[in-house]
Structure 1
Amino acid sequence: MKRSVLKFGGSSVADLSKIKDIANYLKERTENDEQLVVVVSAMGKTTDELLENVKHITSTPNDQDLAMLLTTGEQQTISYLSLILNDIGIKSKPLTGYQAGIETIGHHLKSKISSIKTDLFNQLFLTNKVIIVAGFQGFNKEGELTTLGRGGSDTTAVALAAALGSTCEIYTDVTGVYSTDPRIFPAAKRWDMISYEEMMEMSALGAGVLETRSVELANNNGIHLYLGKTLSTEKGTWIVPNDQMLERKAVTGVALDKDMSHVTLTDSSNGEALLNDIFKKLEQEEINIDMISQIRNITGMQLSFTAKDSDERQLITIFNLLKETYPDLTVSIVEDYAKISVIGAGMRDMSGVASRIFRTLIESEIPYYQVTTSEISVSCVIDEINGEKATRLLCQKFDL
């Protein structure tokens, strides 16, 4: 009997009517002699609403308490979906991340999956057609509830597919992977196929279609990964190994990341101790930074980098602690910047891509402040106000 892992995002399960529609779709799949593991996110904006509620309670929430709270969103969804499925005659079993045996390591709010015990799934499939798993969550070795960070339900789904040796289908509110966000550039092209490598780069640089770790997991475990629109008959996108790509363009996509803070630290000392303490604390808090630049001269040191807006609370806490040791340290966190990135595996073999990017921005009077590159991408920090304009211009330049 075929076994598949399906994941439905928050917009797909935003209300009871949508959950009922998904239940009927799952019924059709099971009637074709298929066993399903279904991973779901919290309904709509539930997670955002829970975080907003916390702001009315405290400005310094405990991470363990936050993780406990945030896991409740997905638990609502698995309960509703299971209730509906059992009501229409499809035997199902809802599982929290803890019940599903999803063990994690790391920060309570940014955990990584370390292992999944599959014995329970094999046992439950003896009496159930559908097993519904709460995405985004797990538990650590102390038995405490943890979350996997934004987009963590994608990671849950792919990790389960890897553990169970099945394919993984991710359903959301877009019909596959586009060259850029169609809401910004309506003429954006949808790809039938894209490489793991390009998808990882696009996700990491702000495309927001799939969580980066989920694509990495699929790549590492050889999982066939499909992205499509919920309950749509339109063809979606397969994410495949590089050697299965029949045609490779110089540029595959343009990603715009508005969830970005630009951080500048200055200090009158030139001491290595400060730099060591900064990076040590960033590592301890598992904060990913990018676009790093450093200036050192006779007046002192300046360090600049970009980070996610969602990490601002942790960053402020870190800098306040550092000021106790380094009283001359000054900090600036500015949120009105964006990162524009051009991605394409074909860049390895084709010259002139970077110069076309820079000339496009210069000719359109869009200033850029920092640049970083990889083998298959070029990223620039620009003013957020120019983000969507730059996206459209670069898509037109590279025929995306």
Structure 2
Amino acid sequence: MRRTVLKFGGSSVSNIEKIKDIAIYLKNRVEEGEQLVVVVSAMGKTTDELLKQVNSITKTPNEQDLAVLLTTGEQQTISYLSIILNDIGVRSKPLTGYQAGIETVGHHLKSKISKINSKLFDQLFNTYNVLIVAGFQGFNTDNEITTLGRGGSDTTAVALAAAQQCPCEIYTDVDGVYSTDPRIYPQAKRHQVVSYEEMMEMSALGSGVLVSRSIEIAKNYNIPIYLGKTLSEEKGTWIMSTIEMIEKKAVTGVAIDKDMIHVTLNYPENNTQLLDQLFMYLEKEEINVDMISQITSNEGLQLSFTMKDTEEYQIQKIFGQLKEYYPALYFKIENRFTKVSVIGSGMRDMTGVASKVFRTLIEANLPFYQVTTSEISISYVVDLENGEKAVQLLCERFDL
């Protein structure tokens, strides 16, 4: 019997009526002979509301406590969906991350999946037609509840599909992968197929459609992902291994990342021990930094980097610790910048992309401050107010 993993995002399950519509859709697929593993997010903005309440208590909550709280949102959704399915005659069972056997390692708030007990699902399908799994969560070797970080429900879904070697369908409020955010550039083109590597790059650089961790798992286990709009007849986008094409475009997408902060530190002497300690703390806290630049002179040391704004309280804590050892350390955290990136696997074989981007920004009088490149992307830090304009101009220049 065919088995499929489906994932529904928070906007798709934001109220009971939407959950009822999804239940009817799932019933139809079960009647067509499918076994379904359904991963769901918390309803609507539930997680944001929980975080807002925590912020009214403290800016530095205990991570273990916070993980226990945040996972309650998904547990609410799996309960509602299972209640409705059983009520309309579909045998279903709700499973928390712990009950689904999703083992994790790492920090409580951004753990990584280490193992999934796939045999458990084979056993449960002897009794049930639909298994509803709470996304975003798991448990560690101490049997403590953990979360997978931002976009963790995508990671849950793809990891479950990899463990069972079946396709994964992700449904949300967008009808596929576009060359850029259509809200910024309405003429953006929708892709029918995108390669794993391009999607990973777009996700990592701020596209916000899927988290890059989920794409990495899909690539490693060759799991095709379908991204579409919930309960829509519109065709979405398949994300899969690189498709051989007669001619590849140099640029297939432009991403914008507004959820970033720019960090600068200054120290009156060139102290490599300070840098060593900083990066040791960053590694310990599992903070990913990007677009690093360093200037060393007779006046001392200056280091700048970008990172996700969700980890601001952690970097504040790190600098607080460093100032105990280096009182002369000065640091500045700014959120007045954004990152704009052009992405395309065709860049490997085509020249002139960087030149075209530079000229586009210069001709429009849009200043940029840091630049970084990979094999298939080029990223620029620009002023926050210029981010969307830069995206629009680059989409026009590359016919996206």
The one-letter amino acid of 1:55's match is: N
**2:262 partner letter:** H
Q: State the partner residue of 1:307.
A: 307
Could you tell me how far apart the structure 1 residues matched to 2:285 and 2:42 are?
25
Which residue number in structure 1 is paired with residue 373 of structure 2?
Answer: 373
Task: Find the counterpart in structure 1 of residue 34 from structure 2.
Answer: 34
CA distance in 2 between partners of 1:60 and 1:381 (Å): 29
Aligned match of 2:274:
274
Segments of structure 2 that go 5 or more residues without pairing to the other structure are: none
Name the SS of the counterpart of 1:163 in structure 2: helix
CA contact (8 A) 1:193 1:245 kept: no
Shift of 1:381: 0.2
1:81 counterpart letter in structure 2: L
Q: How many residues align?
A: 400
Name the structure 2 match of 1:348.
348
Between the aligned partners of 2:353 and 2:82, the Cα distance in structure 1 is: 50
User: Deviation digits for residues 307-336 of structure 1, max 9, x if unmatched?
Assistant: 111010000000001000000100100001
Residue number in structure 2 paired with 1:317:
317
Task: Give the conservation status (yes or no) of the 8 Å contact 1:267–1:302.
Answer: yes
Distance 2:306 2:21 in 1: 41
1:285 equivalent to 2:260? Answer no
1:254 Cα deviation from its structure 2 partner: 0.2
Q: How does 1:254-269 map to 2 (within 5 A)?
A: 254-269=254-269
Report the counterpart of residue 91 of structure 1 in structure 2: 91
Counterpart contact for 1:116–1:163, Cα < 8 Å: yes
Tell me the amino acid that sits aligned with residue 166 of structure 2: S
Secondary structure of 1:199's counterpart equals helix
Q: Distance in 2 between matches of 1:192 and 1:155?
A: 22
One-letter code aligned to 2:150? R
1:25-63 C-alpha deviation (Å, 9 max, x unpaired): 000100000000000000011110000000111121000
Deviation per residue, 1:253-286 (Å, 9 max, x gap): 0000000100000011211110000000000000
- Report the secondary structure of 1:4's partner residue: strand
How far apart are the structure 1 equivalents of 2:159 and 2:247? 29
Give the letter for the 1:165 counterpart. Q
Q: Where do residues 1-400 of structure 1 align in structure 2 (5 Å cutoff)?
A: 1-245=1-245, 247-400=247-400
Q: Quick one: structure 1 residues 27 and 247, their matched pair in 2 at CA, closer, same or farther if it must change by over 3 Å? A: farther
| Shift in Å, 1:119 | 2.0
- Amino acid in structure 2 at the alignment position of 1:196: Y
**Structure 2 CA distance for aligned equivalents of residues 335 and 193 of structure 1:** 34
Paired with 1:244 and 1:40, the residues of 2 have a C-alpha distance of 34
Deviation at 1:243, TM superposition (A): 4.0
Which deviations, in whole Å up to 9, do the C-alpha atoms of 1:160-190 show, x marking residues without a partner?
Answer: 0010111000011001000000010011000
| Letter matched to residue 51 of structure 2 | L
1:147 is aligned with what amino acid? T
SS of corresponding position for 1:242? coil
Normalising by structure 2, we get a TM-score of 0.99
Q: CA–CA distance in 1 between the matches of 2:170 and 2:320?
A: 41
Shift of 1:247: 4.8
CA distance in structure 2 between the aligned counterparts of 1:220 and 1:245, rounded to whole angstroms: 22
Measured on the aligned residues, the alpha-carbon RMSD in Å equals: 0.8
CA-CA distance at 1:14 after TM superposition: 0.6
**In 2, Cα distance between the equivalents of 1:163 and 1:348?**
33
CA contact (8 A) 1:195 1:245 kept: no
- Aligned equivalents of 1:245 and 1:175: distance in 2? 24
Q: Give the match's secondary structure for 2:71.
A: helix
Deviations 1:125-165 (A, max 9, x none): 01111000000000010111000000010000000001011
- SS of equivalent to 1:82: helix
TM-score calculated relative to the size of structure 1: 0.99
Q: Distance in 2 between matches of 1:257 and 1:161?
A: 28
Whichever residue aligns with residue 293 of structure 2, its letter is S
Letter in 2 for 1:144: E
Q: Partner amino acid for 1:319?
A: F
Q: Distance in 2 between matches of 1:301 and 1:182?
A: 42
- For structure 1, the 5+ residue unaligned runs are none
Q: Following TM superposition, by how much is the alpha carbon of 1:22 offset from its aligned partner in structure 2, in angstroms?
A: 0.4
Amino acid at match of 1:133: V
Equivalent position SS for 1:169: strand
Taking a change above 3 Å as real, the CA distance of residues 168 and 244 of structure 1, as seen in their structure-2 partners, is: farther
SS in 1 for 2:316: helix
Rounded Cα–Cα distance in structure 2 between residues aligned with 1:335 and 1:48: 20
Quick check: 1:259–1:308 contact (8 Å CA) kept in 2?
Answer: yes
Distance 2:269 2:114 in 1: 41
Q: Distance in 1 between matches of 2:354 and 2:288?
A: 25
Inter-partner Cα distance in structure 1 for 2:149 and 2:322: 26
State how far apart, in whole Å, the 2-side matches of 1:302 and 1:245 are: 45
CA separation in 2, counterparts of 1:260 and 1:355? 25
| Cα distance in structure 1, aligned partners of 2:160 and 2:98 | 13
